[in-house]
């Protein structure tokens, strides 16, 4: 079974993701990436594999949490081919305390919340995804 890592990057109007193969302990290889993007007409979901071939492309006239349910269901089906061994999330502003990846704890979330004034639009979206 293939070990995979999923990394998320939530923004003010989108949620991007990349799935990596973790077979090589020194370098993770991109398996696929995609995005859910909200716009005035609704929302759009698309995903491509490492070669750029389209794996999914859908649009909805409305936006809401069900869009994220769709993404997680889609990722779960993909993950049946592998085992998710780690998940990460990009943070816009980690200040001087967070220069490297850290395990998320309530204390870490509180410290990140205190940094919201540096980039309120993106930091709030990132913390809202907890």
Residues 6+ apart with CB under 8 A from 93: 112, 115, 118, 119, 122, 123
What is the percent of the chain where pLDDT is above 90? 25
Confidence grade of residue 56 (pLDDT, cut at 50, 70, 90):
very high
Strands 82-89 and 2-10: parallel
Between CA 3 and CA 87 the distance in angstroms is 12
Predicted local confidence at residue 93, as pLDDT: 77
Query: Is pLDDT larger for residue 26 or for residue 46?
Result: 46
Predicted local confidence at residue 11, as pLDDT: 78
The pLDDT of 109-129, averaged and rounded, is: 80
The pLDDT of 53-80, averaged and rounded, is: 84
Is this prediction's pTM over 0.85? no
Express each pLDDT in 15-25 by its tens digit.
899 999 887 77
- What does the DSSP 8-state code read for residue 33? E
Ordered structural domains, the chain, with CATH:
2-90 (3.30.420.40), 93-130 (no CATH)
Express each pLDDT in 82-103 by its tens digit.
788 888 888 877 888 888 888 8
Return mean pLDDT, the chain: 85
């Amino acid at each position: 079974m293939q070990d995979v890592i999923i990394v998320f990057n939530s923004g003010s109007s989108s949620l991007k993701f990349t799935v990596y193969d973790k077979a090589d302990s020194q370098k993770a290889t991109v398996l696929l990436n995609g995005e859910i993007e909200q716009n005035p007409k609704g929302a759009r979901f698309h995903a491509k594999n490492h070669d750029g071939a389209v794996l999914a492309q859908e649009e909805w006239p409305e936006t809401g949490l069900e869009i994220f349910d769709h993404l997680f269901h889609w990722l779960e089906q993909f993950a049946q081919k592998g085992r998710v061994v780690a998940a990460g999330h990009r943070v816009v502003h980690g200040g001087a305390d967070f220069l490297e990846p850290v395990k998320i704890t309530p204390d870490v979330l509180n410290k990140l919340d205190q940094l919201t004034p540096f980039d309120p639009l993106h930091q709030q979206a990132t913390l809202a995804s907890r």
